[in-house]
Structure 1
């Protein structure tokens, strides 16, 4: 009996203890809930003022940036006017048309003069390409595209004229060792190699232009043919440009597509406790009118040039004799979103050797032809040499030294031009051999044709880690650890400087100060890509896997970038592995106030939770075992990220944010929006 009473008493005490604990926990929860309600109410009361202040700061900065950029553009136009530049204004279509007409009719055949004019045309093409990217009017888009095609064909036409003129006198410049003719012509845009088969030695198989690292391999029938081989390596790539124009992508815009700063401001101002289900449609921007455009003329050069193949006609003539393989699975046509051509284009072409001059007594005799260079169609025209040989024509070979000013982080892919549809293809290429130590690539193909070296566009994604930390007033360091390479970008005002472990061939890029657009273009051209666009998620293999890259609200993400830029002079920001655990409507990142150039101590970081409605400092740390949205004690809620940061900033830190240079803020915004580190970073 006593034992039962004792057990009963113990049970009653245990029940009373549990009730007391539950009551204490409930009281604690009620206290926390009242505190949260108090903080939410306080945040709601000042919400309009905070949003208005943020809008004012961003608009003020944008107005200042716009004025500076407009002044800079006016200075460029004025300097062009003072120079009396022979290169026409790309926005004045009448002047562009006049340039094309006058140059087409120019009979100059001297190589140096022709290449000078080609250089001007290439610069003009680059400027028109920039205008095309910005154009919104269908009429302007069509006009720019027609101008680009005309200039591209005219450059090729001029290359043909000067090549023909040189090859006509090939027998006067025979190389003693090979008993053939060969020459190399170079300028800053192209390397042109010409070879004429004068001795027709059937044992000749391979020839290298040693000084430029280019070579070719002939089949025996070709070695006995009356042919000339031309190899042109252009530092630019007009063929990919034409391919993009001819075959524009029809992707559905990504759910993580870019959102403009204006849209962020507009949307944040109307969010009074309501969540948006989608991304509001952006306002169309007014485009300044430019001078009256005339219609471009026929892109095919007239006169004598009308009897010479244009570039695409010549390339199509060659491609017609190449059997097109049937693929049952993946298409061999290159997706120019997934792959990026690097280092320019290699044009490998064969022509009938022009009639050579010969001396009869005191006279020099030469058969005159107005047909220009004639494409030698291989293998069709070598069939007469086969007789009893196998009906399969041996392939030709090409070898190239990888272009300087470009980095390949993996063995390059080779793609040939299918001129019939103006697209790059990866089929028809065989016997690929890559010598990494010598940076040399060799392969075989059915016939000589243009080709490019390619690299996967997003091979460095997702980022393993990233950090943005201040180095001083209006100065910061943006560091990215990628899937294959690491880099850092130093920002000083509106100038950026790239630092990269891999420096081979990048002396023109690494350690050089340049504007953000110039840096981005130079990095993309060099194969050093960290930039994303609205299609990137379709090509980054891990980007849709939960726990690797998380789909988040674009409004929250882009608002974060804008506000990070405002405080980049005083605060350091870094990736958090918890970004995938906080929900799509929120962003988690590490932040701390930091002023000196030294690295941020690990203990200095704090976690912040950002949302479209409010932001807060978290109690948890990066090393916590599980995610918790509990706010940090003695901290408050705010409708904007910058007001939350202001609560803990020192007076010096606040002063730094108020005196940041507008172009520095704009540069940081541009880098963050174009790399999107909050999305394209591994999390766990």
Structure 2
């Protein structure tokens, strides 16, 4: 009964809730009317917002045009004012440096310390000739004389580096470079003479315990390790010198009449001879010049110069695609995707689109020419590109030598056999034996002549951010190479490196020159009168450069170690000397002209970048400058940086954003924490023709007085470091 009653109740409820057809239509109409009203309201609201936005943009555009017009009215005045300031600082600084070079040249001319003037050809030639004829072969005397020679080489290298190109003629540059090379050659020959003279006394200098000669001779620039095999012990495997360096000798050499020499020089006189050392012309230009030369050969007519033809549109070479650019960034070879080159002969005045007035090279012709160009290039993946890598820690000359005949005592007579030819190398492996390739060594194939081993501890005056790589010198190809070097092991804690080679080679350690690029951030901030701190932070290190007056120095954080780079840390130097010292120590913060081939950079307009560095240095006595993330979003023509200092606003510790181009500068409304980039100005701000005037508009009188009274040598020193590090494009 209860179930029946429940069923009836449910049925009645459904009948009561059921809507008629008319009611349903009425409700649907009400819902439709509501939807239409909401859509109409939304449309009107959108139209109103769009109108308001258009009105806002119109007003902003009008205001921007008004401000730009106002800036144009004051442009000449502001540029003239800045020009006088720059002349007061930089022109005076250049004049001071020119006078300093002239005074140094005169002081060098009047110097009477027995050393020749390296730029006076008659003096340096006489010096070299006399040293060649000098019969004193005592190794210590040679090392003492070598310090004079090294100073002469360093003096010439600094002269080439420090003197502006317009102050040196081409003949002078050639003369100085030839003198450097000749001094280096004579120096190495003297080391060989001293080594030979020392080895002739090996039996007299033999160690009583081992029966062999082991000796170390060193000075501040050179360390000479010599081991002479007098005992001929077949069980001999190797020897460790007391200076944390040792070698492993293959068994065939243990019973041979040989000597091992390890000559470690703190300097590198080999890399400059490499074909990869100097700046190379860009690939695209090389290919175009090659094509033009081929056309001239075939046509017998002289074509327009490359630059003129390219600028006028007569040579049309498309930019390489993204993939080609990426290959270049990774250090690989790349070739341009050239589809068509139209070259116009001299004297033709007809429109360029007339086929009879142009020489066309079809795609298949380009391919043939480029293939020919590739074949002319001797590309080898084992050759070290010295534009991408830097040799560090000096050079190790690792040689196996023939042991000269030793003195024999016969009653009252001392007999020594003299051989012609000087110091002789011992061939290992013998030239008639074909050694295994690196692939065969890696796969464990047996060798008739086993490899030689060497181990040594890295010096603290060089910093490696990754495990060091090893390269050997190829005397025939004049390049550093990475083949035939195996079993490399590096102990990071002890900084000890060991490896094997299939023969005795001169070797060095190399590191990626751009390992600290691009920088993660940077900051330039005033510290005291004519003193600023320039901090560059990379993925591996925070380099603190202090600039005071006309000198600068490196200050490393305390956690970098007590002995790391102790030879240069906190040592005051000129900007050029500091740059040279840091690169030699492995801390390269100075991009080369072609570093953008190996580093993805934030490319900026050259004029805008140069102007930014000039004015940042000018303002550095009072204002701090720093990296901004928006610099990567502002495009090629604009630079964005953070500024903090003595502004008229109450809160002087807040970073403000400024944007500048080669035409104008202004403060930005956005902050570093904003979500999207905008170049809008804050309220009551104006455009200015220079960054200097954009900051001056809100500066205190005290701040501007400090800037005006700053030392010109200090401003120029800051500018040199900014242009050398190129922090605006390499961050």
Query: TM-score by structure 2 length?
Result: 0.76
| Secondary structure class of the residue paired with 1:119 | helix
Taking the aligned partners of 1:180 and 1:330, their CA distance within structure 2 comes to 42
Asked if 1:588 is matched to 2:640, the reply is yes
Compared CA separation, residues 88 and 253, structure 1 to 2 (3 A):
farther
Taking the aligned partners of 2:490 and 2:588, their CA distance within structure 1 comes to 22
Counterpart in the other structure of 2:322: none
Compared CA separation, residues 456 and 496, structure 1 to 2 (3 A):
same
Counterpart in the other structure of 2:697: 647
Corresponding residue to 1:184 among 204, 216, 221: 216
Asked if 1:416 is matched to 2:492, the reply is no
- Say if 2:646 and 2:699, in contact at 8 Å, map to a contact too: no
Taking the aligned partners of 1:6 and 1:351, their CA distance within structure 2 comes to 102
Counterpart in the other structure of 1:559: 611
Mark the structure with the bigger radius of gyration: 2
Counterpart in the other structure of 2:499: 443
- Say if 1:589 and 1:607, in contact at 8 Å, map to a contact too: yes
- Say if 1:254 and 1:534, in contact at 8 Å, map to a contact too: no
Corresponding residue to 2:548 among 492, 498, 504: 492
Of structures 1 and 2, the one scoring higher in RCO (CA 8 A, sep 6+) is 1
Q: CA deviation at 1:454?
A: 1.0
Q: CA deviation at 1:62?
A: 2.1
Counterpart in the other structure of 1:514: 573
| Secondary structure class of the residue paired with 1:340 | strand
Q: CA deviation at 1:370?
A: 3.1
- Say if 1:434 and 1:442, in contact at 8 Å, map to a contact too: yes
Q: CA deviation at 1:613?
A: 1.5
- Say if 1:222 and 1:382, in contact at 8 Å, map to a contact too: no
Counterpart in the other structure of 1:528: 587
Compared CA separation, residues 240 and 602, structure 1 to 2 (3 A):
farther
> Which blocks of at least 5 consecutive residues in structure 1 are unaligned?
256-276, 279-327, 384-388, 544-548, 596-600
Compared CA separation, residues 9 and 132, structure 1 to 2 (3 A):
closer
Asked if 1:250 is matched to 2:300, the reply is no
Compared CA separation, residues 654 and 177, structure 1 to 2 (3 A):
same
Taking the aligned partners of 2:684 and 2:398, their CA distance within structure 1 comes to 71
Taking the aligned partners of 2:555 and 2:283, their CA distance within structure 1 comes to 33
> Which blocks of at least 5 consecutive residues in structure 2 are unaligned?
1-25, 286-309, 312-377, 434-444
- Say if 1:469 and 1:571, in contact at 8 Å, map to a contact too: yes
Counterpart in the other structure of 2:677: 627
Compared CA separation, residues 132 and 477, structure 1 to 2 (3 A):
closer
Q: CA deviation at 1:66?
A: 2.1
Corresponding residue to 1:399 among 455, 474, 490: 455
| 1:19-418 to 2 correspondences below 5 Å | 21-133=49-161, 137-210=169-242, 212-243=243-274, 248-252=278-282, 331-380=381-430, 392-418=448-474
Q: CA deviation at 1:395?
A: 1.0
Counterpart in the other structure of 1:636: 686
| Secondary structure class of the residue paired with 1:69 | helix
Taking the aligned partners of 1:253 and 1:537, their CA distance within structure 2 comes to 13
- Say if 2:277 and 2:386, in contact at 8 Å, map to a contact too: no
| Secondary structure class of the residue paired with 2:203 | helix
Asked if 1:606 is matched to 2:656, the reply is yes
Taking the aligned partners of 1:404 and 1:638, their CA distance within structure 2 comes to 50
Deviates more, 1:197-206 or 1:123-132: 123-132
Taking the aligned partners of 1:8 and 1:435, their CA distance within structure 2 comes to 77
What RMSD over aligned residues (CA atoms) do the two structures have, in Å? 2.9
Taking the aligned partners of 1:566 and 1:253, their CA distance within structure 2 comes to 38
Taking the aligned partners of 1:24 and 1:580, their CA distance within structure 2 comes to 31
Compared CA separation, residues 101 and 627, structure 1 to 2 (3 A):
same
Q: CA deviation at 1:45?
A: 0.7
Q: CA deviation at 1:253?
A: 9.4
Counterpart in the other structure of 1:480: 536
Taking the aligned partners of 1:360 and 1:14, their CA distance within structure 2 comes to 119
Counterpart in the other structure of 2:526: 470
| Secondary structure class of the residue paired with 1:238 | coil
Counterpart in the other structure of 2:437: none
Matched residues, number: 594
- Say if 2:645 and 2:652, in contact at 8 Å, map to a contact too: no
Q: CA deviation at 1:538?
A: 1.1
| Secondary structure class of the residue paired with 2:125 | helix
